[in-house]
A and B are shown apart, each in its own frame.
Chain A
């Protein structure tokens, strides 16, 4: 009897939680497509708001995409070899380095942004370029890329694979490219999707680092939320949702595939 009572309560809590998380998203989609949110359904639907958003803010969409891709490139170049180096090295040194690299997850983005501005704010060209925003994003997303790669490295027997390739005559860099990289690909893909998603949604750092010339999508969103009518704000949010949904689906697919491979 008791069990049935408790599991019923569990289902109710889960259902309420789902509604709490989903309803605002649906409201936002609805508001972005309705002619007038105040007048409700009867006023009909329109794509006008989305069109207006595109006219006002398309630049932030392109910039966010560019920033995300640049961030991804840099996290790949820095994070993948770095993760392998740390796993190879092991021991206390690797743990300390990982702890330092992971600091941006613990330290609030605002504090990091402030630190970057204090250090490089005087370098005018760098400060005003999109690259300044990219640096902030790399700082914040790098730990996620490295974690994903390290997690996969810990499940494959990389040392024996490396030794196997060495016994066949392959030099160190060749072993990295031929044997290690292809086998950590699931981690790299998962890390890459996470990096893209986080970069497109990043606000805390970006709000401090951006200039009027380097606004990204979330910065534009904050702008719209503060100064535009609800329908435009909602339509803009809709554009954001459309950008991240494919990435989120990708992340779930990769996680599912990896799990399947683990169990097979």
Chain B
């Protein structure tokens, strides 16, 4: 029938683009990863070679800590904002979600302004204690940068869930004598879990793949994306870069897939 042909026409551009610029390149990446002098040993090298292993370890820890910290502050802030009406609420929400659009490089620059050589914190500590505290180029600076770009997105997701939470649930729990911590544990957090899973997974995946912030801060900590970049451009070891890329892609994709299945199960209850 003609409508069948039209359906085909609708999906044709998407099919061509995805095939040419996503599936084919990813396949090419996989071939590249296995075709270097090391062959499939490239993948083993990620775990055996200290440089790669340490980098993977640091990145994983950083991503996990970022995710936990982001979820904590975002959940607190979301509950604080959810059912409060006050003057300038819209403006405050805009300010909080504004950095959503910042590329990693800009976020890195924000951290430099905050804790760099001419940074705000250093300036304050210098005038108070005579020492210029600089943390922008350390692991802590990197962590703050990741927090900076993670909070807005996670906050938006959890806020949406918190606003949907029926306030009478909390009132019912209070009428039954539940204290604030019991209410959090038994009523509020279970309702927010699907959103927290989804947002947390995305936060983790973004942190694993973030490149711009580390690039701007130019720390001596090699997070995995920096490693891919140096392997490819400086060491011109394309197959090793490809192997690390695939490993990184798999980790983030699996995390997202697991979180999504958890979130769906949470919503199903």
Residues of chain A having any CB pair with chain B under 8 Å: 2-3, 6-7, 9-11, 13-14, 17-18, 20-25, 27-28, 31, 37-38, 74, 77-79, 81-82, 84-86, 88-89, 97, 100-101, 103-112, 114-116, 118-120, 135, 138-139, 142, 171-173, 176, 197-198, 200-204, 207-208, 218, 221-222, 225-226, 230, 233-234, 237, 240, 244, 247-249, 252
Contact = CB atoms under 8 A, between A and B. Distances in A.
Interface stretch (B44-52, B106-114, B190-198): B106-114
B98 A111 contact: no
Nearest to B232: A114
Given A17-B151, A107-B253, A172 B248 contact: no
Contacts of A173: 6, 9
Contacts of A237: 106, 109
Nearest to B78: A14
A79 B106 contact: no
Contacts of A198: 101
A226 B212 CA distance: 12
Given A230-B118, A248-B97, A248-B100, 14 more contacts: A21-B95, A21-B148, A25-B110, A78-B17, A101-B14, A103-B26, A106-B205, A111-B29, A114-B242, A119-B28, A138-B17, A171-B2, A204-B210, A204-B225
Contacts of B232: 114, 208
B53 to A, nearest CB: 19
B22 A203 contact: no
B29 A115 contact: yes
Nearest to A28: B113
B3 interface: yes
A20 B98 contact: no
A122 B151 CA distance: 40
Contacts, number: 229
B99 to A, nearest CB: 6
A78 B14 contact: yes
B56 interface: no
A82 B73 CA distance: 38
Residue from B151, B211, B225 with most neighbouring chain A CB atoms (10 Å): B211
Interface residues of B, number: 80
Nearest to B238: A118
Interface of B: 2-3, 6-7, 9-11, 13-14, 17-18, 21-26, 28-29, 32, 73, 76-77, 79-81, 90, 92, 94-106, 108-114, 118, 120, 147-148, 151-152, 179-180, 202, 205, 208-212, 215-216, 218, 225, 228-229, 232, 238, 241-242, 245-246, 248-249, 252-253, 256
13 contacts: A17-B77, A20-B147, A21-B98, A24-B111, A31-B113, A81-B10, A108-B225, A108-B252, A110-B228, A114-B242, A204-B209, A218-B103, A225-B108
Contact of B102 (A103, A107, A201): A201
Contact of B105 (A20, A78, A176, A222): A222
